[in-house]
Chains A and B, each alone.
Chain A
Amino acid sequence: MLRLLLWLHLALVPSWTAAQPIQIRDDRGTEHRLAAPPQRIVTMLPSLTETAWVLGVDSRLVGVDRYSNWPAEVAKLPHLGGLDDAQIEAIAALKPDLILASTSSRAMERLEALGFSVVRLKSESHADVRRTLDLVARLLGNPDEGARVWARLAREIDAAAGRVPASLRGRRVYFEIGGGPYAAGTTSFIGETLARLGLANIAPPDLGPFPKLNPEYVVRAKPDLIMGVQREQSALMARPGWNALAAVRERRLCGFETPQYEMLIRPGPRMGEAAGLLADCLARLGTTATR
């Protein structure tokens, strides 16, 4: 009899704790109540796919957006279109009990109208990454995991900052996004990462995240380092007046191939690895620096 009671207790208690309803407020202020952790999840933004993955979503992830390409496991999952051309029918057919999407996505309003629970999350900054980790961890039913991952990321970034050669600390960097030339400003995600590595930015904060700068401004600012897509780096010499820049002449350039570049600018849980990439390049430049 006692044994039976004990067995009943063991059988029932975990299910009570597991069935704790989850209550969260997303970045558009919508309240979501879930009776239990969702078992069929669709993510519609690469950074959210990565966030859910590091938090142990595993087989509960049933579909991703067109651009999600990390980890390799998501290649096998159905890809359901992009931000504004999401395949609403295909998503509905998967019968997800949770959809994670960005705040700026028109297609998601249709899915909300169809009665799916769509959690809308903003991911543009380090603070957003931290908040999103916490929120998704609670949704997945392991609430402490978010803080754990964030602590790991902070350690990784600190380690990367520690590897930046002393001769390059406080140097002024120009990080170029695409053609244009657009700069990654102080307030952009990559700008925040650069700041954490102890680098200064030639674009002042009041210009916003991605200003299209007058090329004269860049030449006048004389950045100590230039970073950007590998493809553009080779063409820097050919830009009018740019060959006068010491950073170009002395090849103090960090060019990144598309997969690495994506990792750098994607506000997600690979930011620690991204900081490591930047530190690798800086360490390389530090050893060859002619001073």
Chain B
Amino acid sequence: MSMSFVSTNQPAFDAAMGDAEARRRLAAGIALAIVVGLACGLATGSTGFAPRDFWADLNGNDAALLLGQIRAPRTLGAALVGALLGLSGAIAQGVFRNPLADPYLLGSAAGAGLGVVLVLAAAALGGATISLATVAWIERVGIVTAAFVGALAGVSLTLTLASGAVHTLRLLLAGVVIGVLLGAVSDLITVVSPDALRGKQAFMLGSTGFLGWNALALMLAGLTLLLVLAQRHARALDALTLGEDSATSLGLNLGKVRLALVLMLSLGTALAVSQAGLVAFVGLVAPHLVRRRAPGTHAWLLVASAGMGAAILLWADVISRALIAPEELPVGVVTAVLGGSYLVWLLKQRTAS
């Protein structure tokens, strides 16, 4: 992904210019990246990135089908999934006061994975472990619902194990434990039913290929709701950055606020993951990029991270569709390569200075 629209920073220069100016620039940059990303997404079909073909497609007989039913929703959907992940990542890093926090930490990813594997392996498990009526019911539920329910169930288990969200360290530890356990259960199921493996892998690596207008409406409603809710808690997140004692002395009910925030980031993650699979790294890298370019209060950070996440996933999605067309790379592989390279570069910079 080219981030060249952001000046390859000199922190001193930014500070001199003032953070407000930096934020304005970044907001403009993100907006531009999203617009260009959407345009490129619309111009990337099964022949790869081909703006010339786009006009032919638009005037062809199948325009409503190919562009209207498949390409437009998946392109817009990539932006929404990215925004949900970016927002959830920003909330997670605020709650844990840790720049390495990731929305998948609290057992939601493993829970979603287990839900998907259960649906895929239901037929193979039928008769032996579960009744055939249950199999029929599980298969009717479908992968999307199973992933959503699984993600929320994973987080609920984590919260139960940590007895609420008062202690962040306990919460993180519980998240890791639940993640390992649920992951082990889904691995066990794939041993019993090897034909669930390919579907599980496709889910683990993420894909925007199945996003339709219904999914978009759902995600847009979720994103709007979460943005409003998160903005209301922005001041609480700011107070948290000062430390727990300061936050308590400011009259913050830590347990309650954290629980609300954890539920928000879980809902955002569950929505994104159920529609597009476990897309890696966006939730981790988007808030980082924003903080590095244009630090500010959480009121800014939350919205900007959502925008940054949208831009990142849009571009990653275009790359995943264009690189080996008509085949596709799993979009999670592309985000992992982009995000990983960025973090490597960041570390090199840090050690050099």
Residues of A that sit less than 8 Å from B by CB: 66-67, 82, 177-182, 207, 211-217, 219-220, 229, 231, 234-235, 238-241, 244, 257-258, 261-262
Q: What separation, in Å, do the CA atoms of A55 and B112 have in the docked complex?
A: 45
Specify which chain A residues have a CB less than 8 angstroms from the CB of B45 in the assembled complex: 214, 216
Asked if residues B195 and A261 are in contact (CB atoms below 8 Å), the reply is yes
Among B69-77, B148-156, B242-250, B260-268, the one that faces the other chain is: B69-77
Contacts of A212 in B (CB 8 A): 202, 327-330
Which A residues are CB-close (under 8 A) to B321? Answer: 214
Add 12 more A-B contacts to A212-B329, A231-B123, A240-B211 (CB < 8 A).
A66-B191, A178-B195, A180-B199, A214-B325, A216-B66, A217-B46, A220-B66, A229-B195, A240-B212, A241-B69, A258-B123, A261-B195
Taking the closest CB of chain A, its distance from the CB of B323, in whole angstroms, is 11
B113 to chain A, nearest CB (A): 13
Minimum distance in angstroms from B280 CB to a CB of chain A: 17
Q: Which residues of the partner chain A approach B69 to less than 8 Å between Cβ atoms?
A: 240-241, 244
Q: Enumerate chain A residues within 8 angstroms of B211, measured Cβ to Cβ.
A: 240
Task: Report whether A214 and B46 are in contact in the complex, using a CB–CB cutoff of 8 Å.
Answer: yes
List, in ascending order, chain B residues with CB within 8 A of A179's CB.
120, 143, 198-199, 202-203
Distance between A102 CB and nearest chain B CB, rounded to angstroms: 14
Closest to B198 in A: A178
Contact of A207 with B327 at beta-carbon distance under 8 Å, contacts A216-B70, A219-B70, A240-B212 already known = yes
A-B CB contact pairs (8 Å), 29 listed: A67-B194, A82-B194, A177-B198, A178-B195, A179-B198, A180-B198, A180-B199, A181-B209, A182-B198, A207-B327, A212-B327, A212-B328, A213-B46, A214-B326, A216-B66, A219-B66, A219-B70, A220-B62, A234-B139, A239-B210, A239-B212, A240-B74, A240-B210, A240-B211, A240-B213, A241-B66, A244-B65, A257-B123, A258-B123
- Any A CB within 8 A of the CB of B124: yes
B207 interface neighbour in A177, A180, A244, A261, Cβ under 8 Å: A180
Chain B residues with CB under 8 Å of A178's CB are 195, 198-199, 202
Query: CA of A235 to CA of B69 in the docked complex: distance in angstroms?
Result: 16
B142 at the interface (CB under 8 A from A): yes
Residues of B within 8 A of A177 (CB): 198
**Contact A240:B70 (CB < 8 A) given known A214-B321, A217-B46, A258-B124:** yes
Task: Give Cα A181–Cα B327 distance, bound, in whole angstroms.
Answer: 10
From B66, B71, B209, name the one whose CB has the most chain A CB atoms within 10 angstroms: B209
Complex contact A211–B143 (CB within 8 A): no
Q: How far does the alpha carbon of A212 sit from the alpha carbon of B46 in the complex, in Å?
A: 12
What B residues does A258 contact at CB under 8 A? 123-124, 195
**Complexed CA–CA distance, A97 and B62 (Å):** 62
Expressed in whole angstroms, the Cα–Cα distance for A240 and B222 within the complex equals 20
Q: Which residues of A contact B195 (CB under 8 A)?
A: 178, 229, 258, 261-262
Given A181-B209, A241-B65, A244-B65, CB of A213 within 8 Å of CB of B203:
no
* Across-interface contacts of A261 in B (CB, < 8 A): 195
Query: Closest Cβ of chain B: how far from A123's Cβ, in Å?
Result: 16
Determine how close the nearest CB of chain A comes to the CB of B166; give it in whole angstroms: 40
What are the 9 tightest A-B residue pairs by CB atom distance, in nearest-first order? A241-B69, A240-B212, A178-B198, A217-B46, A179-B199, A217-B326, A241-B70, A216-B46, A214-B46
CB proximity of A70 to chain B, nearest CB, Å: 15
* Per-position 1/0 for B44-74, Cβ under 8 A of A: 0110000000000000001001100111011
User: Roughly how many angstroms separate A50 CA and B346 CA in the complex, as a whole number?
Assistant: 54
Alpha-carbon gap, A180 to B73, bound state (A): 17
CB-defined contacts of A213 to chain B, threshold 8 Å: 46, 326-328
